Amino acid sequence: MSLAQTAPSASGAFDSIPIIDIGHASTLEERAALARQIRDACMNVGFFYIKNHGVPEETIDKALSAMKAFFSLPTEAKMKLHHRQGAHYRGYEPLLDSNINPTNKGDLYESFMIGWEKLVPEENVGDTPAVANRWPSEPAGFREAFLDYYHATLGVAKVLHRLFALALDLPETYFDDKLRHNPMMRGLHYPPQTGPEDERIMGIGAHSDFQCFTILWQEPGIQALQILNSEKQWINATPVPGTLVINIADLLSRWTNDVFRSTVHRAINRSGVSRYSIPMFIGANSDVVVEPIPSCVSPERPAKYETIKAGDYVRKRIQEMYQQGVATSNGATRQNDKQ
Ligand SMILES: O=C(O)CCC(=O)C(=O)O
Ligand SMILES: [Fe+2]
C-alpha cells in the first residue's frame, strides 16, 4: 500500500513517542526495516527518539559544559555578541527577545546560534562560509566544543535523511543534493520558572519548526518539552538518556502532502534548575523545487499544496510571521531567514 493510502489511518492521537534504535544500518535490509519504523513515527506522531545515534557522550558533555559556562557569564559580556548586531542572527539571543507564539508574553530562553564552519580555522581558507559565526572569547574551548557537537550531529542528519528517503519510497540518495549541509544550530538555556503557572509564559511557546527536520539534544533528567496530539493533549517528550529527539518540520510535511506530521511543540522548565537543549535545524537548499513526493499523492489524496521553491516558502513564512507582529522567530525560522 502506498503512503497516500495508509495516511488516513494515522490518527495523530498518540500518547507516547517511539524510540528507534538506528545503531544497525549497514545493510539495505536493516535500513529498510528502520525506514518502516520511521515512516510509522512520522505519520502518527511527527516526533521520535533515536538511540545509538553515534554522537559520542563525551562530545555532548563538553558541549553542555561549554554552554553552561557561556550562559553563566555576566549579561554585558553576552550582549557583546547580540545576534541582531551581526549578520543573520548568529550569536547571542537574550531572554524574552523572541515570542514564537504571538498570544504569549515572550519566550523565557536565551540562546547562542551558529552555522556551519570547519573545525580547524586554517582549513577555512579558500572555503570561507558566506556568513561567519561570532564566537565568545570565553569560556576557553567553547568554539571547539560547540563545533565538535555540530559536526557529529551533521553526521546523524545524513544518516537520517537517507532513512527518510527510504521511508517515502524514494531512492535512498534522493535528499543528498536537496538538503542543506550547513544547517543552523543553537544552544538553549531555559532558566527555571517559578511562581504561579501561566499558559502565556513559556520557555518556548507552542510552534512547529519551519524547515525539514530538527535534531534535538535535551538535558537528561529535566522534563520541559511537550508535544501536541490530535486530541489537543500535551504529551511530555521526557528526556530518554542516550537519545536525540527528531521532529518533522513544516517544509518536509508539505513536501509529503502532509503524510508526515509537523507536530506543534513547546517547552516549559518548572524543574527548579536550569535546563539546556541543542536543536539543529535541517533545511532544504533555497532553489529546491518542493512538489508532493509521488508516494504521498493518490486520487483520494490529491496534492494539497502548489509547487514552491524552498527559499520562497521560507521567505513567505517569515513575512507572515512578521505580519502577525511576532518580533522574532524560533531558531528554525532564523535559519531560513538567512538562506
Ligand atoms: O528546547 C526544546 O526542547 C525545544 C526547542 C525548540 O522547539 C526549537 O528551538 O524550535
Ligand atoms: Fe521547535
> Which domains, ranges and CATH numbers included, belong to the chain?
3-328 (2.60.120.330)
From 216, 226, 280, 317, the mutation candidate for ligand 1 (largest count of ligand atoms within 8 A of CB) is: 216
Q: What is the pLDDT of residue 106?
A: 83
User: pLDDT tens across 19-73, in order?
Assistant: 999 999 999 999 999 999 999 999 999 999 999 999 999 999 999 999 999 999 9
Q: What is the pLDDT of residue 329?
A: 40
Q: What is the pLDDT of residue 339?
A: 31
Residue 48: φ, ψ to 5°: -155, 160
Alpha-carbon gap, residue 184 to 2, rounded angstroms: 33
Q: What is the pLDDT of residue 333?
A: 40
User: pLDDT tens across 219-239, in order?
Assistant: 999 999 999 999 999 999 999
From 71, 97, 188, the mutation candidate for ligand 1 (largest count of ligand atoms within 8 A of CB) is: 188
Alpha-carbon gap, residue 35 to 165, rounded angstroms: 8
Alpha-carbon gap, residue 86 to 94, rounded angstroms: 14
Mean pLDDT of 164-173: 97
> Is residue 331 very low, low, confident or very high in pLDDT (cuts 50, 70, 90)?
very low
What are the residues whose beta carbons fall under 8 Å from the beta carbon of 67, sequence distance 6 or more? 112, 146, 187, 189, 276, 278
Q: Which range has the worst mean pLDDT, 90-94, 154-158, 281-285?
A: 90-94
Phi/psi zone of residue 169: left (φ > 0), alpha (ψ -120 to 50 degrees), beta?
left
Q: What residue owns the CA closest to ligand 1's atom 1?
A: 277
> Is residue 10 very low, low, confident or very high in pLDDT (cuts 50, 70, 90)?
confident
313 near 251, Cβ under 8 Å? yes
DSSP per-residue codes, 78-107: HHTTBTTTSGGG-EEE-TTS--SSTTSS-B
What is the CA(186)–ligand 1 centre distance, in A? 9
Q: What is the pLDDT of residue 254?
A: 97
81 near 299, Cβ under 8 Å? no
* Residue located via cell numbers 505519520: 43
Q: What is the pLDDT of residue 174?
A: 97
> Does residue 129 have a pLDDT over 70?
no
Ligand having the closest approach to the CA of 250: 2
Instruction: Give the single-character DSSP code of 331.
Output: H
Residue 35: φ, ψ to 5°: -60, -35
What is the CA(49)–ligand 1 centre distance, in A? 14
Nearest to 93 by CA among 323, 316, 311, 279: 279
> Does residue 330 have a pLDDT over 60?
no
Q: Which range has the worst mean pLDDT, 3-7, 266-270, 287-291, 308-312?
A: 3-7
> Does residue 277 have a pLDDT over 50?
yes
Q: What is the pLDDT of residue 89?
A: 79
Mean pLDDT of 105-120: 91
Q: Which protein residues have their CB within 5 A of the ion that is ligand 2?
A: 209
> Does residue 91 have a pLDDT over 70?
yes
> Which protein residues are within 6 Å of ligand 1, measured from CB?
188, 204, 209, 216, 218, 224-225, 265, 267, 277, 279, 330-332
165 near 175, Cβ under 8 Å? yes
Residue predicted with more confidence, 192 or 104: 192
> Is residue 115 very low, low, confident or very high in pLDDT (cuts 50, 70, 90)?
very high
> Does residue 123 have a pLDDT over 70?
no
Return the ∠ at Cα 94 (arms to 134 and 197), rounded to 5°: 150
Residue predicted with more confidence, 166 or 120: 166
For the chain, give the percent of residues with pLDDT over 70: 91
Residue predicted with more confidence, 174 or 195: 174
Mean pLDDT of 176-193: 94
Nearest to 147 by CA among 112, 115, 179: 115
Mean pLDDT of 185-201: 90
Q: In 106-223, at which residue ranges do the beta strands (DSSP E only) sit?
A: 110-114, 184-190, 204-207, 213-218
On whether the pTM is more than 0.80, the answer is yes
157 by DSSP, 3-state: which? helix
User: pLDDT tens across 281-316, in order?
Assistant: 999 999 999 999 999 999 999 999 999 999 999 888
